[in-house]
Structure 1
Amino acid sequence: MGGCCASAPVSAAQRIDDESYPDNGKKLRRDALKDVYQLGGTIGTGGFSVVKLATDRATGEQWACKIMSLPRPGRQPARRRSIMREVDVLVRLGLGHPNVLALREYFVENNRVYLIMELLRGGELLDAVNSHGNYSEADAQTIFSQLMRGVQYLHSVGVVHRDLKLDNLLLAKKGDISTVKIADFGVARKLHPMYGLRQMRTVVGTPQYMAPEVVCASKHIIATAAGTAYGPACDLWSCGVILFMLLGGYPPFWHESQPLLLRSISRGKFEFDDPVWQEVSREAKDLVSKLLVVDPDKRLTPKQVLAHPWMVGCSRQARRLPQTSERMRTGILNRLRKRPSEEGPRLHDVIADASAAAAAAALQQPVVEWPA
């Protein structure tokens, strides 16, 4: 696992059980956390979590330990379900793909969940891109191909991320854009094989990256007769937004007003009219256009994206993107960063303004953020 300090093989995700935690079919651990790991200093914080350095006492390997307070059974049931859904998703993913942040194991002690996860030393992708001297389309392709391989894996095991964004793309090694990892599974959903692909109705995610079908899942945001269910294709829309940003340096949909932003997304109209796009190849713009399609059934799948001519052939060209690079450093992308803790409440404010307070409360779902 490039970028983390572990080199020896590790077991599949394991846990200490008390009643109702996700079962991965493995032998349950009964060890106390302190007997297995030595916790060090804090290396990150989120709205509902803290992350500490964890050293394996037996091997000296270093990991990241994400700690979340777990409400007692019967108290804050929505919060408890949210945490256990995240754990359930991470258990399913395990150590399964090089472009997905890995869970080694987890513990439940004293009403806290301890997730022992891969330690990434590279920080956020956007920081590396901003410090890259000669950012090019080939760099964007290197980044995006890893994102798509990670998403392809998630969907192959029945997991939908639902909050893909630049902030959630981390690097295993500092400055190395060939070590991209998808992180933060706080609102991810594990699909049930019996109920088809479209089985999600909750409005979650970061507004600038949300797919039209997610926006329309609530009839209180966009005036529809009833909310609509959505499926894994919502992740492909988010990937399209990310690719647009990687190539153009700004988001395809933007408005200071959340209601107007969401309405704009639901219509799906965007343009390549900014001068920055004169530097971008026709093949790259074609791929963006085939991802930012309002109808999820007409959106490309991960397999189709990976076979797209730009994905296959861009490595042979090094088209420089100086305007894009400058936009990333100084433009709106920096304004969008580090706002995830605000986005959930702000999105639900929009819903509340458009509907009864009870309807808004039913939609609220706190996001567990993985800090950089």
Structure 2
Amino acid sequence: MSKLPKLVEGVPSNLTENFEVMELLGEGHFAKVKKARHKASGKYVAIKFIDKRQIISDEHQLASLFSEINIMKSLKHPHIIRLLDVYETDDKLCLITELATGGELFDKIVDRGSYSERDASLLMLSLFNALRYLHSKNIAHRDLKPENILYESDAPTAAVKISDFGLSKVVDKKKMMQTCCGTPGYVAPEVLSYAGYGPEVDMWSMGVLLYVLLCGFPPFYDENDAALFAQIQSGKFEFTSPYWDTISTEAKDLISKLLVVDPKKRLTAEQAVSHPWFSVALPTHKLDAAHQKLTEARSKRRFKAAGMAVMIGSSLRPKKQ
């Protein structure tokens, strides 16, 4: 078998000299993520092993990978998973990142047993601050969803971290993004219209996330993707009784200003962190109904979804970036 060409110049190849590779944490189409221990410091990390054979002949996959690496190299924020180093072996590209051991957002909430609106507010403020940082650097994440928000550890006060920058992109202010990507339930309406879009798509996703967090089910839902997309593009949703009866007016106001079809009228991350929901006294009673709904959803894996680029029908085929 011919030797594979080097993809990244100037990076080390002696991975196993420096790291003890441990158990599998997850895997995708052409990559596996494993836990590892840095031998010199004893620090635990995550390593994403990307199979070079699977991507070497796909120029779009390569471009996406290089974009992910360059973007992650530029990021340093307490609520964003950090890229610590890059190694390359004969057949693998290895991304060394922070290890988040606390699990995915909704899994952690379900396991914790209960949470209040105040708890939700503190969580969302961390995420909006991370987005404010990303957008200030002209970076759009483009796939914000519960699976891509991780807890740093199992500690009750553990920080949340935005992860998975595989679909992220540096925004060209002179040229709008066109690629139809993301996850169906969290994708913004302008992504579906092929009219071009900007980083505002992340704010729509945050609106969906906040809605689900407070009531336990999404604002837009249908088993049929075409019907779901039609709902999203209409922008019509309700604060269904009795689930929303005890939720604050400030929370509903924030959601209503995020789930706005016109991206120019949608709140920015800068505006969101200053919203009254983050400064007023909020209810501290437990959101038991929302917790029950999330528990049911996890058992059905209702919110688990692959990237929309591989899920959408032929009528909404992804375009090039």
Report the Cα distance in structure 2 between the residues aligned to 1:256 and 1:337, rounded to whole angstroms: 12
Offset at residue 346 of structure 1 (A): 2.1
The code of the aligned residue for 2:94 comes to Y
1:325 aligns with 291
Offset at residue 295 of structure 1 (A): 0.6
2:205 aligns with 238
Report the Cα distance in structure 1 between the residues aligned to 2:219 and 2:54, rounded to whole angstroms: 43
| Match status 1:166 vs 2:146 | yes
After superposing the two structures, state which structure 1 stretch, 68-77 or 304-313, moved more: 68-77
| Match status 1:138 vs 2:138 | no
Summarize the alignment of residues 334-349 of structure 1 with structure 2, pairs less than 5 Å apart.
334-340=300-306, 343-347=308-312
1:263 aligns with 230
1:363 aligns with 319
| Match status 1:151 vs 2:131 | yes
Runs of 5+ consecutive residues of structure 2 not aligned to the other structure: none
2:182 aligns with 205
Check the 8 A contact 2:183/2:305 in 1, yes or no: no
Offset at residue 72 of structure 1 (A): 8.5
- Percent identical pairs in the alignment equals 35
1:54 aligns with 36
Residue in structure 1 matching 2:241, options 274, 278, 302: 274
2:218 aligns with 251
For the residue of structure 1 that corresponds to 2:118, the secondary structure is helix
Runs of 5+ consecutive residues of structure 1 not aligned to the other structure: 1-16, 22-27, 218-227, 366-372
For the residue of structure 2 that corresponds to 1:202, the secondary structure is coil
Residue in structure 2 matching 1:99, options 67, 74, 79: 79
Report the Cα distance in structure 2 between the residues aligned to 1:214 and 1:176, rounded to whole angstroms: 36
Check the 8 A contact 1:163/1:204 in 2, yes or no: yes
For the residue of structure 1 that corresponds to 2:181, the secondary structure is coil
After superposing the two structures, state which structure 1 stretch, 57-66 or 34-43, moved more: 34-43
Report the Cα distance in structure 2 between the residues aligned to 1:58 and 1:278, rounded to whole angstroms: 54
1:333–1:179 distance in 2 versus 1, CA, 3 Å? farther
Deviations 1:226-258 (A, max 9, x none): xx1100000000000000001111000001111
TM-score, structure 1 as length reference: 0.79
Computed over aligned residues only, the root mean square deviation of the Cα atoms, in angstroms, reads 2.3
1:277–1:186 distance in 2 versus 1, CA, 3 Å? same
Offset at residue 344 of structure 1 (A): 3.6
The count of corresponding residues between Structure 1 and Structure 2 is 317
1:82 aligns with 64
Offset at residue 111 of structure 1 (A): 3.7
1:338–1:116 distance in 2 versus 1, CA, 3 Å? same
Report the Cα distance in structure 1 between the residues aligned to 2:36 and 2:292, rounded to whole angstroms: 38
For the residue of structure 1 that corresponds to 2:120, the secondary structure is helix
After superposing the two structures, state which structure 1 stretch, 122-131 or 163-172, moved more: 122-131
1:255–1:119 distance in 2 versus 1, CA, 3 Å? same
